[in-house]
Amino acid sequence: MGVVDIDELTASARVVTVPMRVRFRGITAREAVVFRGPAGWGEFAPFAEYGDAESALWLRAGIEAAYQGFPEPLRTVVPINATVPAVAAAQVPEVLARFPGCRVAKVKVAEKGQSADDDVARVAAVRAALGPDGAVRIDANGGWTVPQALAVITRILEQGPLDYAEQPCATVEELAEVRGLLDGACDIAADESIRRADDPMRVAELGAADVAIVKVPPLGGVRAVLDMAAKLRAAAGVRVTVSSALDTAVGLTAGIAAAAAIPDGNAAGLGTGGFFTADLGTHPVVDGALRVAAVDPSEEAIAAVEETGERRDWWLDRMRRCAALL
């Protein structure tokens, strides 16, 4: 991918704030910069706490989308999992209703301020809603110690099987320990240990995971995701789930493209569009899957959520700093 002039990027850039239905990952609105190039739309939306070096990969991914486009897909639709935030068990049916046809659900657990009982009840409510042919994943975002992970996962396994437990603890070494102690009772997935690691391959080297959660923006683009997936599969037979970085509809296009181009992909974690009350376009969930398609945001859709003034300046300054690192 050639060098893209930052003045050209910022000239077309639009800063948006997309409101959310529920608190997710500690936020109630998603900020992003979107811009258009010869291949389509790209997105730059690293979370506010990320430093410039880490955020530069998110810009690289957006530039790839807008100026290079994506590899040819291997499939035209991508099955997805429903995503259930750390809501009360009584709210689970309402959340799952936003994911028509999904037979796999990923449930957030280990939320600060909540208890293991809350997690167990939420998972039980998801199982009840999905029925016996549904599959459940849990995601702790590194929130447990090893003893906590073993205790809560064991309680949840008493209800029924898990497809996998995602990032139960923060470090690769802890993941390897939990995986060993569970001894095949539950697969372990690595997320933060892949996308926020200096050496993502350590997960494979230490035998720390059965599944890798890969996201397009933190790895620097769709091609980087495909390369990582191939290396993990070759090194340790680790299978891959492509997931969303809480992208707007523009950014989600790249995640769908990655999931569609990975051989033997499983249900992707890309069904996050339903968390927004307004967006820049739509990727409708039909029969538990997303169609491989780009969005072309209208001027009206952008203007409805656009930021101006100080917040716009903050994002464009950040974009310029990150571009200087590419």
Asked if residue 183 belongs to a known ligand binding site, the reply is no
Q: Tell me the mean pLDDT in the region 277-306.
A: 96
In terms of Cβ atoms closer than 10 Å to its own Cβ (0-12, 13-18, 19+), residue 51 is exposed
Confidence tier at 2 by pLDDT (50, 70, 90): low
- Are 221 and 108 in a shared domain? yes
Percentage of the chain modeled with pLDDT above 70: 98
- Are 119 and 258 in a shared domain? yes
| Residue 108 is a catalytic residue | yes
The yes-or-no verdict on residue 265 having pLDDT over 90 is: no
Question: Strands 135-139, 104-108: parallel, antiparallel or unpaired by DSSP?
Answer: parallel
- Are 10 and 102 in a shared domain? no
Question: Radius of gyration over alpha carbons of the chain, in Å?
Answer: 19
- Are 63 and 89 in a shared domain? no
Helix pair angle (146-159, 172-182), 10° resolution? 40
Q: Tell me the mean pLDDT in the region 289-302.
A: 96
Q: Which of 106, 108, 112, 231 is catalytic?
A: 108
Asked if residue 287 belongs to a known ligand binding site, the reply is no
| Residue 231 is a catalytic residue | no
- Are 180 and 317 in a shared domain? no
Global pTM exceeds 0.85: yes
The yes-or-no verdict on residue 196 having pLDDT over 80 is: no
Confidence tier at 1 by pLDDT (50, 70, 90): low
The yes-or-no verdict on residue 53 having pLDDT over 80 is: yes
User: Which pLDDT does position 193 carry in this prediction?
Assistant: 83
Tell me how many domains the chain contains.
2
- Are 86 and 64 in a shared domain? no
Give the whole-angstrom CA distance, residue 58 versus residue 196: 12
Query: In the chain, where does DSSP find H-type helix?
Result: 6-12, 52-63, 92-96, 116-130, 146-159, 172-182, 192-195, 202-205, 216-219, 222-236, 249-261, 299-305, 310-323
The yes-or-no verdict on residue 199 having pLDDT over 80 is: no
- Are 257 and 305 in a shared domain? no
The CATH number given to whatever domain includes residue 19 is 3.30.390.10
What digits encode the pLDDT tens for the residues 67-104? 999 999 999 999 999 999 999 999 999 999 989 999 99
User: Range of 226's domain?
Assistant: 77-291
Give the whole-angstrom CA distance, residue 73 versus residue 16: 29
Asked if residue 52 belongs to a known ligand binding site, the reply is no
Q: Tell me the mean pLDDT in the region 208-223.
A: 95
The CATH number given to whatever domain includes residue 179 is 3.20.20.120
- Are 87 and 109 in a shared domain? yes
The yes-or-no verdict on residue 236 having pLDDT over 90 is: no
| Domain assignment of residue 1, yes or no | no
The better pLDDT of the pair 20, 24 is held by 20
Q: Tell me the mean pLDDT in the region 146-170.
A: 97
The yes-or-no verdict on residue 221 having pLDDT over 90 is: yes
- Residue 141 CA: distances (Å) to CA of 106, 109, 190, 247: 12, 8, 9, 17
User: Which pLDDT does position 22 carry in this prediction?
Assistant: 79
